[in-house]
Structure 1
Amino acid sequence: MPDVTLPLPVVRAALNPVFRIMLHHRLPFSVQRALMDWGSAAQRAPRGTRVEYVELGGRPAERVTVGQDSDTATVLYLHGGGYTVGSPVTHRALAAYLARETGCAVQVLDYRLAPEHPFPAALEDAEAAFLELVDFGYRPDRIAVAGDSAGGGLSLALAERLRDRHVVTPAALGLIAPWGDPNEVPTRDRDLVVSKPWSRACAAAYLGRGDGSDTGYAPLLGELRGLPPTYVQADVDELLHNQCARLVAQLRAAGVPTEFTETRGLWHVAQLQAGLVDSAAAVTVELGQFLRQALRPARNRSIG
C-alpha cells in the first residue's frame, strides 16, 4: 500500500480539471506531452526505485528496478497516451510498482509517437524491443508484455505479431484498459480522464494514411487464439469499459486463459496514482502478482 494515502473523492476532484486541461484535443500534442511529463512528478514511486537509461530495438528506454531483480525474466512495458503522448517518465512510478511486485526489471519503451510517426511505427518499435530482449538472452516465455490504454492495445498487437511472424509467445499479457480498436467511437462524451474529441484526434493521428481494418492498428479485430495468459482491468465508468469487456469475452472464446478485474469508483489507468490511492495500489499489486506468477512457473513447480 502507498506510504501516503489520500481519500478517493479528493483525488478524483483534483484530477478532473487536470485531465480536462492536459488532454484537450485543441492543445498541440507537443504541449500535452510537456504537461504530462511535468505532472508525473506528483506520481510517487516506491522507495528504492532505480532507473537505468538503456536502448531497446534502436529506441530509448528506461530499465526500472526496485530491490534485487531477476536476471532471467523481465517485463516489457508499453505506455499509454493515445499513441500521441506519454513517455517512460510519465509511467516511471507505475513501472516501479510492477518491478517491486514481480521482482523483475521493467523495461519501459520510448516508442515513436504520432502524428510525427503514425502506424505502424509504434508496433515496429515494440517488435524490435521484444526481439532484442530475446537477443540479450531472455527466453520469450520469460518476457511478459504489459501496457495501459493505447499501450495495452499495442501490447495485444505485439503479441499477435510475434505469434504470426516469429512463432513466439510471451509469458503473459498485462492489459490496463487496453484500447484494442481505435476505430470505435465512444458512446459518451467523456470519463474522468478521456474525452471523445481527444480520443478521435489520437486515433486519426495514429492511423495517418493507414487502413483502419489492419489488425496491427486494431488488434481487437485480429485472431486471438494462441495468445498467452492475459490479465485485463477496466473501471466500469470509463469509456473503454465495454470494449475491454468485449475483448475479454473474445479471449475466453478463443481459449485464452483470461483474468478480468472490473473496478468501481476509479478511473482510466488509475494505476498511475498507485502511490496516492489505496484502491489504485491494490489493482496495481494484482497485476504485478499476475505477471510474477506467469514469469516464474518453473520455480513454482520445482518447490518440494
Structure 2
Amino acid sequence: MRDINLPLPLARAVLHSIFRITLNQRLPWRLQRLLLDAGAVAQLVPAGTHVHRLSLGGRPAERITAGPERGHGADARGAVLYLHGGGYAVGSFATHRSLAARLAHETGCTVYVLGYRLAPEHPFPAGLDDAEMAFLELVESVGYRPDQIALAGDSAGGGLSLATAQRLIAQHGHTPAALGLIAPWADPNQIPERERDLVISRPWSRACAAAYLGNGDASDPGYAPLTGKLHGLPPTYIQVDKSELLHSQCVELVAALRAAGVHVRFTESQGLWHVAQLQAALVEPAAAAVTELAEFLREAIQPVSMRELK
C-alpha cells in the first residue's frame, strides 16, 4: 500500500476545515459533489489496482480488483457490492475508489462500486431500487450466488446496504453473505443531539434527509431500515467512532440486530471521525479499521473450509 501516516491531530485539523466548507447545506448539491471529487485525489489507490467501468443494474459502476482484470464473469473468490455514503445526495466513484480498492486488495474479492441515483434529483426509493437491481444482476447475469456477495457501505451507503438486504430477503429470498457497515445512517428520521462532529453537521444531515425523502413516506422501512425487519439478516459488522453524530444510532442498531438474533460484530474507535476509513491511505488507525472490516467480509464470503481447499 502507498500510505502516508499523518499524525491524527494534523489530519483532524485539515479535514475539519475541508468538510466544514464542502458539506454545507448552503451550497448547491452539485457544487458539493464537485468539491468532494476534487479533494478525493489525496486518497491514494493501492498499487496494482485494476478499475473497469461497466453498467450494473442499469447504472454506471466500477469493478475493482487487486492485480490484473479477472474477466467479466463471477469471481470464484466472491464479491463485495459497495454502496457509497454522502447523505444520499453526494459521493461518487472518485470519493470512494481508494476505500473500495483497499477492500479488493485485503479481501481478495472483486469489489463493485455502484453509481446509484442521488437526491434531490432522484429521491427515495431510486437509490434502493438501483442497489436491488445491481445485486440481482450480479446473481442472474454475472453468475454469483447470493451467499458469495457481501453488501457494504458507509453512512447513507450503510443504511442503503441494510435496506437492500431487507428487500432482497423479503422479495427475492436472497440473503447476502454479510453486511459491512461503516457508521450506517439507518434512520434518517432521527435528529442528532449535537450540532456537528468533525465531518457532518445537524443542518446538513437534515437537508440530506429531506432531499432523500422527497414526497415519500418517512415511516417506510426502506427509507429507515432500522425500523424494518431485522430477523434473518446475515452476519453484520458495524464500525463507528465514539465522536460521531451517528454513534448513538449505531449503538441502537447493534442492540436491535442482536435482539433479532443477528450475529453482530461491533467496534467503536476513539479519536477518529465519521467514516475515517475513507482516509485509510493517510491515517494508520483508519487503515487498521479497513483491514478488520476486510477480514470479516472475507471470512463471510469465503469460509475457512472453502479457502483451505485452494
- Short-chain TM bin: over 0.9
Tell me the equivalent position of 1:13: 13
Q: 1:264 aligned to 2:270?
A: yes
Give the match for residue 38 of structure 2. 38
1:97 and 2:84 correspond? no
Corresponding residue number in structure 1 for 2:261:
255
Deviation string, structure 1 residues 73-111 (Cα, Å, up to 9, x no partner): 110000000000001111000000000111011100000
- 1:187 corresponds to which residue? 193
Superposed CA offset, 1:219-277 (max 9, x none): 00011000000000000010000000110011111110100010000000000000010
CA contact (8 A) 1:2 1:274 kept: no
1:26 aligned partner, one-letter code = R
Does residue 175 in structure 1 map to residue 181 in structure 2?
A: yes
Q: Of 115, 118, 135, which aligns to 2:120? A: 115
8 A Cα contact 1:173 1:229, kept in partner:
yes
Aligned CA RMSD, in angstroms, stands at 1.4
Q: Partner residue of 1:78? A: 83
The gaps in structure 1 that reach 5 residues or longer are none
List per-residue Cα deviations over 1:162-182 (Å, max 9, x = no partner). 010001100000000000000
Matched to 1:131, the amino acid is L
The TM-score with structure 1 as length reference comes to: 0.97
Q: Give the ranges of 4+ consecutive aligned residues of structure 1 lying more than 6 Å apart after TM superposition.
A: none
Deviations 1:45-100 (A, max 9, x none): 11111110011000000111112668121100000000000011110000000001
Question: 1:127 is aligned with what amino acid?
Answer: E
Q: CA contact under 8 A between 1:80 and 1:150: conserved in structure 2? A: yes
Identity of aligned residues (%): 66
What are the ranges of 5 or more consecutive residues in structure 2 without an aligned counterpart? Answer: none
2:138 pairs with one of 130, 133, 137: 133
Q: 1:230 aligns with which of 224, 228, 236?
A: 236
Give the deviation of 1:300 after TM superposition. 3.9
* Alignment-mate amino acid for residue 232 of structure 2: G
Aligned residues between the structures: 304
**Partner residue in 2 for 1:60:** 60
Distance, in Å, in 1 between the alignment partners of 2:209 and 2:3 is 37
Q: Secondary structure in 2 aligned to 1:91?
A: helix
The alignment's TM-score, normalised by the length of structure 2, stands at: 0.96
CA distance in 2, matches of 1:3, 1:172: 28
